[in-house]
Amino acid sequence: MSIKEKSGKVEELFKSLEVEISHLKKETGVHCIENCIYCCTTSKIMATSLEFYPLAYHLYKTGQAELVLEKIHNSEKLDSCPLLNSVSIDGSRIGCTQYENRGMICRLFTYNYSTDKHGLRKISACKAMKLAQPDEIRKTNEILKEKTIGPRASGYYSQLQTIDFIEGQNLYPIREAITMAIENVLTYYHYKGNEIE
């Protein structure tokens, strides 16, 4: 499968994920806290390289792939995601610099449910949301007792594996996952004579 096709399939998956997430938000009222970037500043985030193919393909098409790769290599804040803008000296927006093409884990963080050992569905809300939106979280868990709402993270990762079993399965610290995706795309097009599909 070409990089373009692979990237397109991941984007399709993101589209259905976003539909489920907006349904969850609309029906329950859960939402990210304004200007919160906590989940982008933890070194514990793990991701697959495949979920960053849409980003890598976009960067390649727009001639930014090498530049972003260099920035990642030079970034000193090793605990944070290298795509995060955490300071705004020049008035730039604080947050993800590649929001439109962020990975699947970034979309799923807090907006997904899991099932406990008794089969009870619960929203996997982050600490910040649990503290700030207890009523919304309670309401979501009540709804989840009766029916499914929002995405199930494991289900989406299984779907990712149907696109590429290995690249959709192996988890790496997010910095490595992003780097691998960009490097893979650059290598692919290098051997194709840098011809953009």
CB burial readout 156-181, b (16+ within 10 A) else e: bbebbeebbeebbeeeeebbebbbbb
Say if CB 127 and CB 84 are below 8 A apart.
Answer: no
- By CB under 6 A, is residue 83 in contact with ligand SF4? yes
Residue type, 51: E
3-class DSSP state of 131: helix
Smaller CB separation from ligand SF4, 146 or 157: 157
Which segment (8-16, 18-26, 68-76, 94-102) binds ligand SF4 by CB under 6 A?
94-102
For the bound state, the minimum distance from the C-beta of residue 12 to ligand SF4, rounded and expressed in Å, comes to 19
Distance CA 33, CA 13 (A): 25
Smaller CB separation from ligand SF4, 44 or 118: 44
**β-strand pairing of 84-85 with 95-96:** antiparallel
The token pair that represents 84 in the structure block: 């995060």
For the bound state, the minimum distance from the C-beta of residue 56 to ligand SF4, rounded and expressed in Å, comes to 12
Binding mask 164-193 for ligand SF4 (x = CB under 6 A): ----------x-------------------
For the bound state, the minimum distance from the C-beta of residue 23 to ligand SF4, rounded and expressed in Å, comes to 17
Q: Footprint of ligand SF4 on residues 7-36 (CB under 6 A)?
A: 32-33, 36
Among 13, 17, 40, 56, binds ligand SF4 (CB under 6 A): 40
